[in-house]
Amino acid sequence: MLRRNWVTFLVPLVLLLGVALIPYIWILLASFKERVDLITPDPKWVFEPTVVNYVEIFGRGFDVFLLNSIIIGFSSTALTVIVGTMAAYGFSRFKIPAGNHLFFLILATRLGPPVAYALPMYLVFDAFGLVNSHFAVILAHATFNLVLVVWMMRSFFNDVPREIEEAAYLDGCGHFRVFWRFAIPMTYPGLVAVMIFVFIFSWNELLFALILSGGETRTLPVMIPSLVLHTGTLWGQVAAASIIQSIPVLIFIFFIQKKLVQGLTFGAVKG
């Protein structure tokens, strides 16, 4: 009986994992294939592996785009987390005049189609000569991630009992010291998860980067489709770049799994 239960569980499980994983596995295999093994009417599941694709993408400026993605990811994460956490603490601890409207405005920046906000941003950045700069993309990514930080951190701060902070305050700690020495350490695990989320969303983002970056400031998600050339697609390089781009994401989802559902729903669902 127990054995049969295992079979009826394992068979669909393997099928499910196959559906989720095979397209990804196929691109992983492709990244280690020579051109003759890539473009063939007879799909090769077994072949002689090569790292030539991983070497060649660096000849196409992959290192520059990788660095851009890292710079933009870290900078926009730092900016969003600092601005968003302060605001979240304010929302959690104090009565903010017109707070509801502000809260709603922050939400609205994320729920609309990014392209509707990308053009207005393009107009502003263009006016200041900032198009094709890291700065433009950093600001844009920080904008659509702000709601995530504010909503999640606010819910974490709400979970921290106020009494400790009030006692510290009565002992003569200033507000900022209370925030820094008590509120932040108590929400630290959540804060780390939020940072990881913000980083991944920036790391994966295409539209803003496509519009606001260019030439030497392009990010990986902009670079990968640019390998589709008029003369044919460099599939080996697309595969190699896609694999490298997705590795940090896979590592992160394994480690922040408990917070995954919370991050994907702006903190509306607790895992």
Does 7 engage in binding with other proteins (CB under 8 A)?
Answer: no
Whichever of 74 and 169 has its CB closer to other proteins, that residue is 169
Structure-token pair, residue 75? 């900078």
Q: What is the CA radius of gyration of the chain?
A: 23
Does 90 engage in binding with other proteins (CB under 8 A)?
Answer: yes
How many CB atoms lie under 10 A from the CB of residue 12? Answer: 10
Q: Which one of 11, 63, 112, 180 is in contact with other proteins (CB under 8 A)?
A: 112
Whichever of 42 and 48 has its CB closer to other proteins, that residue is 42
* Cα–Cα distance, 50 to 58 (Å, whole number): 15
Does 221 engage in binding with other proteins (CB under 8 A)?
Answer: yes
Burial of 172 (0-12, 13-18, 19+ CB in 10 A): exposed
Applying the rule CB under 8 A, the residues between 173 and 202 that interact with other proteins are 174-176, 179, 200
Does 23 engage in binding with other proteins (CB under 8 A)?
Answer: yes
Structure-token pair, residue 186? 């108590």
Applying the rule CB under 8 A, the residues between 145 and 174 that interact with other proteins are 146, 150, 154, 158, 162, 165-166, 169-170, 174
First to last CA, the chain: 33
Does 35 engage in binding with other proteins (CB under 8 A)?
Answer: no
Q: How many residues touch other proteins (CB under 8 A)?
A: 105
